């Protein structure tokens, strides 16, 4: 194209020169004046067109020079899009791209350019985020944390078998610890999952008093890296965090799909959890698996968050005890989570960094839901803050006040929900222990608490363990 343009310019200039030469050497007679005028007009028009063509071609040549690099980027973007369209794992992505570049006998330079281009496009937000399917349904990544448990197979089998769509719920298994047996188990799933590995296996500088809690430091480091991968490297907008020792309910995915619109529309929410901390058999209404609640206590153990939240938390992510950290007022900012009446997850991992803490006395008794609930077909707007606060607080503080003894005896004549009052940290803990509830506080918030109220089911009745009506907020000193 460039040679053709040069030829046009050269030919035009020659033609213009010849015509000008004959015009000035040949003196026209009076009779030829009219012809001369016509010829002059034609020459003027030709001269104008030549000037315009010169200007256009100069601009064209400049554009070519300026876009040499852009052309390279476009070629690389095409490679990137092709790779993203059929994801298997990061190593295979890079292998495919390397092969394409090697075929052009220019691997070293172009591979470096490609890596630079990746960083540029991520920074500028050019790479298309994985947000929704063509029909508008959300794409939600499932991030499975793994370390050295070969029983991760139990968790992965359930996730793969129960997910309604591999495209809508891509599974990313992030492995720490470099445990070869676990890695072999994960690799057997092939392209059904994406297997990524925490590259930082360096030793962690831990204060002497916390040496025995080294595992918590490694977990926090792993969480931070893996969430960065899912949201910033892989480009997902929403993710469900699962650990490798969790069983899931048949309606696990339906639960998160149904609550997804709440999470993205209500700014007073910051997570949806599949876990009820007080969800033991005998403390939940097994005939009401559809019931959902708001809670000020971050439950974890199968929870959904958005990239927007991670962008907020990532810069200040802690070195250890991430779950306690995330429950602090500075992170929570008065936001709540959705939690179910009956848990959609249950842990089978007795052995871990917590050395079985709470497992024998509590965790192994958690009831896992068995009846599927069509959450996506239900109206869940009652969980939006403005709706929920009015109805929930009316129910709690219009319910009849009773004592623990009356509840225990079961001789309550009045129908409907009842309320047991607590005024101090000690009175709460004593009552919670008698009822079989978890009695601890995190940043002053009791487990499953919402505006200080802990709701559960006991002897066939809905019960609210609640503070006085003049409650003014959580007291962080109660932790």
Q: How many CA atoms lie within 13 A of 437 on its CB side?
A: 25
Give me 152's structure tokens. Answer: 């991760």
Specify the residue for token string 């029909």.
135
What is the rounded distance in angstroms from the CA atom of residue 72 to the CA atom of residue 106?
Answer: 13
Pairing relationship of beta strands 269-273 and 303-306 according to DSSP bridges: antiparallel
Across 259-277, b (16+ Cβ under 10 Å) vs e yields bbebbeebeebbbbbbbbb
Give me 289's structure tokens. Answer: 């698996």
DSSP state of 205: -
Cβ atoms within 10 Å, residue 65: 8
| Backbone Cα Rg of the chain | 34
Strand order in the sheet with 461-466: 400-401, 418-421, 461-466, 454-458
Exactly one of 323, 389, 439, 475 is catalytic; name it.
323
What is the rounded distance in angstroms from the CA atom of residue 371 to the CA atom of residue 377?
Answer: 15
Are the beta carbons of 408 and 461 closer than 8 angstroms?
Answer: no
Question: Rounded to the nearest 10 degrees, what angle do helices 68-85 and 107-124 cross at?
Answer: 80
What is the rounded distance in angstroms from the CA atom of residue 336 to the CA atom of residue 447?
Answer: 12
What is the rounded distance in angstroms from the CA atom of residue 264 to the CA atom of residue 305?
Answer: 9
What is the rounded distance in angstroms from the CA atom of residue 241 to the CA atom of residue 255?
Answer: 14
Which residues, 6 or more positions from 185, have their beta carbon under 8 angstroms from its beta carbon?
Answer: 150, 152, 153
**What are the beta bridge partners of residue 142?**
171, 240
Question: Rounded to the nearest 10 degrees, what angle do helices 68-85 and 33-66 cross at?
Answer: 50
Phi, psi of 379 (to 5 degrees): -90, 105
Give me 103's structure tokens. Answer: 């075929």
Q: Give whole-number Cα distances, 83 to 89, 108, 118, 127, 238, in Å.
A: 10, 19, 12, 12, 21
Active site residue 323: yes
User: Collapsing DSSP states into helix, strand and coil, what is residue 353?
Assistant: coil
If we measure between CA atoms, which residue out of 264, 196, 184 comes closest to residue 228? 196
User: Collapsing DSSP states into helix, strand and coil, what is residue 232?
Assistant: helix
- Active site amino acids: 323
């Amino acid at each position: 194209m460039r040679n053709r343009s040069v030829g046009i310019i050269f030919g035009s200039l020659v033609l213009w020169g010849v015509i000008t030469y004959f015009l000035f050497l040949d003196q026209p007679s009076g009779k030829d004046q009219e012809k001369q005028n016509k010829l002059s007009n034609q020459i003027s028009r030709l001269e104008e067109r030549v000037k315009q063509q010169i200007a256009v071609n100069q601009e064209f040549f400049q554009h070519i020079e300026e876009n040499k690099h852009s052309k390279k980027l476009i070629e690389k973007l095409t490679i990137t899009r092709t790779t993203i369209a059929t994801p298997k794992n990061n190593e295979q992505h890079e292998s495919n791209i390397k092969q394409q570049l090697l075929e052009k006998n220019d691997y070293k330079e172009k591979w470096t350019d490609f890596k630079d281009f990746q960083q540029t496009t991520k920074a500028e937000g050019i790479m298309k985020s994985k947000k929704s399917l063509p029909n508008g349904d959300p794409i939600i990544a499932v991030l499975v944390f793994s370390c050295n448990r070969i029983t991760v197979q139990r968790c992965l089998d359930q996730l793969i078998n129960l997910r309604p769509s591999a495209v809508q719920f891509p599974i990313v298994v992030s492995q720490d610890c470099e445990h070869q047996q676990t890695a072999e188990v994960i690799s057997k799933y092939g392209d059904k999952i994406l297997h990524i590995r925490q590259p930082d296996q360096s030793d962690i500088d831990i204060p002497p008093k916390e040496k025995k809690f080294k595992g918590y430091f490694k977990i926090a480091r792993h969480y931070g890296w893996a969430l960065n991968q899912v949201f910033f490297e892989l480009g997902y907008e929403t993710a469900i965090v699962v650990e490798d020792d969790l069983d899931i309910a048949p309606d696990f995915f339906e639960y998160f799909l149904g609550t997804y619109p709440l999470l993205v529309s209500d700014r007073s929410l910051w997570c949806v959890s599949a876990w009820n901390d007080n969800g033991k058999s005998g403390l939940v209404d097994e005939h009401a698996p559809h019931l959902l609640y708001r809670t000020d206590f971050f439950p974890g153990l199968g929870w959904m968050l958005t990239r927007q939240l991670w962008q907020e938390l990532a810069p200040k992510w802690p070195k250890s005890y991430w779950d306690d950290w995330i429950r602090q007022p500075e992170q929570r900012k008065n936001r709540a989570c959705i939690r179910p009446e009956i848990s959609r997850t249950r842990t089978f991992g007795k052995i871990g960094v917590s050395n079985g803490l709470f497992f024998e006395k509590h965790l192994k008794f958690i009831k896992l839901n068995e009846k599927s609930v069509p959450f996506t077909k239900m109206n869940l707007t009652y969980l939006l803050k403005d709706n929920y606060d009015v109805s929930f607080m009316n129910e709690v503080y219009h319910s009849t006040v009773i004592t623990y003894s009356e509840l225990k005896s079961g001789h309550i004549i009045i129908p409907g929900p009842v309320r047991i009052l607590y005024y101090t940290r000690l009175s709460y803990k004593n009552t919670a222990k008698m009822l079989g509830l978890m009695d601890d506080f995190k940043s002053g918030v009791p487990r499953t608490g919402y505006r200080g109220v802990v709701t559960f089911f006991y002897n066939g009745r809905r019960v609210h363990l609640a503070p006085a009506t003049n409650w003014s907020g959580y007291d962080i000193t109660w932790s």
